[in-house]
Amino acid sequence: MTAVPDVPNTATLTISCPDRQGIVAAVSQFLHNHGANIIHSDQHSTDPEGGTFFMRMEFHLEGLGRARESFERAFAQVVAEPLHMSWQISYAIQPKRMAVLVSRYDHCFLDLLWRKRRGELNVEIPLVISNHEDLRRDAEMFGVPFHVVPVTPGNKAEAEAEQIRLMHEAGVEFAVLARYMQILSGEFLRAFGRPVVNIHHSFLPAFVGANPYRAAFNRGVKLIGATSHYVTEELDAGPIIAQDVVPVTHRETPETLMRLGRDVERQVLARAVKAHVEDRVLVHGNKTVVF
Ligand SMILES: Nc1nc2c(c(=O)[nH]1)N[C@@H](CN(C=O)c1ccc(C(=O)N[C@@H](CCC(=O)O)C(=O)O)cc1)CN2
């Protein structure tokens, strides 16, 4: 019988709180007092004169795996509560459970599956949910269960309830919309209650909506781009995680723009998902701090 793998002795602590003097000292002292070794630290203040302070610390602590609850309880009492912190600790070896929602486009979807297989993304993918059958064989090639939940204007509430049931049943910790072409309702986002990461095929805030490449072509742009953001009820308006652009010329058509866009969409989504999975993204209002 294989030994139960020890819960890791490395962890990532992320914090946001009202900025004041002594936060780094208080956290570092607490970790030192508990025998931890800080192996990476990043911090940012939105305004030293009373803004919000963000910090991300990776640390190693022998035996942490068996002492998680007491360690977190002590941190809450000694540091977090006195400093009015919002905080979380993630444990390295626990891959985050990620659902992928797709429609008919395969490029971002296959890219995520390939990066997971290559070990570039520390995730488990317990299921893929689609509103079309098109990508079933692709999912099955990677051994990922594929669920089709058809969505129509008349069944959106029932379809979303089924999507949430499937994801909650699979213990999903966050979802990725890999060119999923349905607008998620506010009820869905509230009921799912976990982060949703989207890839929008334009350099937001330009060209929101379903057909940005046609709009870009009509505008005669010289750059196209992609934006990965957290999904909010307002379409394509959530906190931006990653973006990039590609130069284009007058010789492009909407179809060649889409072809050029596929590469930048894949790269931007992978960058955003990796940052989310590694707890490097902290949300502040409708913006992000990405360490
Ligand atoms: N609540 C949100 N839902 C979604 C977001 C978001 O930001 N907030 N992003 C979209 C992705 N997207 C652009 O990137 C997008 C997808 C679909 C549409 C749209 O108009 N869809 C129609 C149906 C289209 C179809 O059936 O093919 C609709 O839902 O009525 C606009 C933008 C994903 N969801």
Q: In a mutational test of the pocket of ligand 1, which residue from 200, 203, 213, 235 has the highest number of ligand atoms less than 8 Å from its CB?
A: 235
One-letter amino acid at 14 equals T
Cα–Cα distance, 217 to 154 (Å, whole number): 33
b (16+ CB within 10 A) / e for 182-210? bebeeebbeebeebbbbbbbbbbeebeee
- Mean pLDDT of the residues in the chain: 95
Catalytic residues: 236
The lowest-confidence range among 31-45, 55-69, 186-200 is 55-69
For ligand 1, atom 13, name the residue with the nearest CA: 200
Cα–Cα distance, 138 to 113 (Å, whole number): 9
Transcribe 240-290 into DSSP letters.
EEEEEEEE--TT--HHHHHHHHHHHHHHHHHHHHHHHHTT-EEEETTEEEE
**Over pLDDT 70: what percentage of the chain?**
97
Q: ipTM of this predicted complex?
A: 0.93
Residue 191 Cα to ligand 1 midpoint, Å, equals 18
Transcribe 65-101 into DSSP letters.
GGSHHHHHHHHIIIIITTTT-EEEEEETTSPEEEEEE
Q: Which candidate, 18, 133, 36, 33, places its Cα nearest to that of 86?
A: 18
Q: In a mutational test of the pocket of ligand 1, which residue from 105, 131, 182 has the highest number of ligand atoms less than 8 Å from its CB?
A: 182
Q: Do 38 and 13 meet the contact criterion of CB atoms below 8 Å apart?
A: no
Q: Tell me what the mean pLDDT of segment 239-256 comes to.
A: 97
pLDDT at 6: 38
Token pair listed for 58: 């990776």
pLDDT at 3: 32
Summarize pLDDT for 167-181 with one digit per residue, the tens. Answer: 999 999 999 999 999
Q: Is the pLDDT of residue 2 over 80?
A: no
The binding-site residues of ligand 1, defined as CB within 6 angstroms of any ligand atom, are 177, 180-184, 198, 200, 209-210, 231, 233, 235-236, 238
Q: What's the pLDDT band for 93 if we cut at 50, 70, 90?
A: confident
Cα–Cα distance, 61 to 184 (Å, whole number): 41
